[in-house]
Amino acid sequence: MSSPSAPSSAWAAVDERRLWARHEKMARIGATPGGGVNRQALSPEDAAARQLMVRWAQDLDLTTATDPIGNLYVRLPGTEAGLAPVLTGSHLDSQPTGGRFDGTYGVLAGLEALQAIRQSGVQPRRPIDLVAWTNEEGSRFLPGCMGSGVFSGLMSIEELRPATDWNGTTVESALATLHAATPDVPTYAAPPPHAYLEAHIEQGPLLETADTTIGVVTGIQGARRYAVEVTGEEAHAGTTPLKNRRDALRTAITMVAELNREMEAGGEAVRFTVGRFDVEPGSPNTVPGRVQFSIDFRHPDLTAMKQLGGRIEPICQANAGSCSVYVQLIDDMPPTAFAPAVVDLVDRQTAALGYSKMRLPSGAGHDAMYLARVCPTGMIFVPCEKGISHNEAENAKPDDLAAGARVLTACLVELTDA
């Protein structure tokens, strides 16, 4: 990393009102009655959000491109076009009852940074690519981080195409719809990046509790996701004695109870969530023959993650009773440590801009997990109200969003010179 550059005037061109207005406009796409958004990956709402990004890019005379997995790139050219680009960005897809800032902030802060750099007249040496990554959330299609996973070479688009959502729609067909929404955006093979920096709301309470504006993110905890299928036998609710039943729901409930007991004993750092639970046939007077449920398991320590994660399948098998159980590991991402040079850059530029700051790890997953495996990577957090996220009540303050965008801009300018 180059020595501290002269204070960049570009960050001074970040416009708080413009950034907030873009959030309000983007929040209308997939708006939910509770004040959040439902803009699930590869949905018509996701496509509409991309169309809006393309329009904003064109208004700024920035070029756009996409790739086969649907990542959307907005480029600010550099004086030396052939150099590896600096990347920034996040995601536009949301949870079903998501908030207006999760992911969206990183994309709009990146757009604000590109506009501020252009307005200030600062000439970046390297191109800067702003990226809206496909399907970060993984709530409609598993696994999450599909766009950054394919970009980094850690996921295969061929293996992802047949993946289906809970209604049986494939990634392949949903991608075709997404690309059709922006037919004028050319496809290109993105070059290996020089560095990646992502701005995001913290999605936790630490910054707000510490009355601190900027989170200098040191890394991301490890995460595993599983799909569990319990198979029993459908039977008549009125004629089948309890002892003769192969009740998939009763068995799945026992498994989840045992898993929770084991995870609670694992200590305060453990995160264990069963977020989806589907019962078939779902009739009040038929004994359930099949249950599918999801597991989201996370831990900041690799050894503990392996040890405790390794208990999940044995506990399911030990509690299967007269049913059969299939435990599929969908996603296994070890803890991520960000590049010290990028973490120090964020720290230094935040100090230079005079914002309060603290170093912290991320409890939430991000596309930066995958970018960190291909280039020096870091993240900038800003506070969100009461740490609430993955909830329609998610909220953030305009001045905090602008502060994060200023730090992002100053860091991007320095990274493009390196």
Q: Is the dihedral of CA 133, 134, 140, 143 positive or negative?
A: negative
Closer residue to ligand HGY (CB): 102 or 247 = 102
Selected from 364, 375, 384, 405, the binder of ligand HGY by CB under 6 A is 364
Is 202 near ligand HGY (CB under 6 A)?
no
Interacting span for ligand HGY (CB under 6 A) from 65-73, 109-117, 136-144, 149-157:
136-144
Selected from 112, 136, 208, 392, the binder of ligand HGY by CB under 6 A is 136
φ and ψ at 93, to 5 degrees? Answer: -75, 155
Selected from 193, 365, 378, 404, the binder of ligand HGY by CB under 6 A is 365
Query: With b meaning 16 or more CB within 10 Å and e meaning fewer, what string describes 90-117?
Result: bbbbbbbbbbbbbbbbbbbbbbbbbbbb
Cβ 364 to ligand HGY shortest distance, Å = 4
Is 30 near ligand HGY (CB under 6 A)?
no
286 CA to centre of own chain: 39
- The answer to whether 323 touches 255, Cβ cutoff 8 Å, is no
Question: Using CA atoms, how far apart are residues 166 and 142, in angstroms rounded to an integer?
Answer: 10
Tokens of 72: 């959307």
Is 62 near ligand HGY (CB under 6 A)?
no
Question: Using CA atoms, how far apart are residues 56 and 22, in angstroms rounded to an integer?
Answer: 9
- The answer to whether 397 touches 38, Cβ cutoff 8 Å, is no
Tokens of 135: 């399907």
Closer residue to ligand HGY (CB): 94 or 319 = 94
Q: How far is CA 271 from CA 139, 223, 262, 265, 267, in A?
A: 17, 9, 12, 12, 9
Is 70 near Mn ion (CB under 5 A)?
no
Closer residue to ligand HGY (CB): 137 or 414 = 137
Selected from 89, 144, 149, 335, the binder of ligand HGY by CB under 6 A is 144
Q: Taking CB within 5 to 8 Å according to partner kind, which of Mn ion, ligand HGY, none is near residue 347? A: none
Is 37 near ligand HGY (CB under 6 A)?
no
Closer residue to ligand HGY (CB): 202 or 229 = 202
Cβ 46 to ligand HGY shortest distance, Å = 14
| Residue showing tokens 């394919």 | 150
Cβ 180 to Mn ion shortest distance, Å = 26
Amino acid at 210: A
Interacting span for Mn ion (CB under 5 A) from 102-110, 259-267, 324-332, 375-383:
102-110
| Residue showing tokens 């010290």 | 340
Residues within the interface to ligand HGY (CB under 6 A): 136-137, 144, 364-365
Residues within the interface to Mn ion (CB under 5 A): 102-103
